[in-house]
């Protein structure tokens, strides 16, 4: 099973590293991470680009002004895999979150 993880983000510069660190510690990694940038006016996009430069699984979609729901829908439409997991920015995932979900 291949999994795309979709995450809408907007103005998460203060918490993005917590989420990205928790993704790096997953016991079952997603094959793709679709980050939907919803029009941030802080350093979120810069941080996303820096992270994506070091992780080829990361895809950044710049959605312009987007609510989390619109961001999720755009991310799902862009995902490459049939199985899709969803989470939100501003969270810290338990290390076995995706493994248990699968």
Where in 21-96 does DSSP place strands (E)? 32-37, 58-62, 83-86
pTM of the predicted protein model: 0.95
- pLDDT for 15-33, tens place per residue? 999 999 999 999 999 999 9
Residues of the chain with pLDDT under 50: none
């Amino acid at each position: 099973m291949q999994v795309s993880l979709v995450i809408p983000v907007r103005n998460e510069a203060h918490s993005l590293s917590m989420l990205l660190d928790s993704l790096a510690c997953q016991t079952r990694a997603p094959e793709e991470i679709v980050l939907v940038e919803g029009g941030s006016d802080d350093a979120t996009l810069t941080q996303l680009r820096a992270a994506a430069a070091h992780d080829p699984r990361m895809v950044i979609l710049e959605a312009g002004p987007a609510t989390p729901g619109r961001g999720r829908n755009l991310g799902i439409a862009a995902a490459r895999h049939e199985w899709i997991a969803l989470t939100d920015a501003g969270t810290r995932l338990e290390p076995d979150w995706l493994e248990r979900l699968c």
